[in-house]
């Protein structure tokens, strides 16, 4: 749904066949937060651990 929205808004465009990875991920990832799939980047050192809640 979000990928189709990006195409309709002109944020993702081009001629031919593309994978999602070929386009700018930021608008897609921003919309994931809005539409119920929140995410965040956690910077960690190799020896650190993070508990998923």
DSSP letter, residue 11: S
pLDDT above 90 coverage of the chain, percent: 28
**pLDDT the model gives residue 45:** 93
Distance CA 12, CA 48 (A): 36
Q: Is the pLDDT of residue 53 over 80?
A: no
Q: pTM to 2 decimals?
A: 0.62
**pLDDT the model gives residue 31:** 92
Select from 45, 24, 51, 49 the least CA-distant residue to 10. Answer: 24
């Amino acid at each position: 749904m979000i990928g189709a929205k990006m195409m309709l808004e002109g944020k993702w465009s081009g001629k031919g066949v593309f994978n999602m990875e070929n386009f700018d991920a930021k608008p897609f990832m921003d919309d994931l937060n809005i539409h119920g799939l929140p995410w965040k980047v956690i910077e960690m050192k190799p020896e650190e651990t993070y508990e998923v809640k």
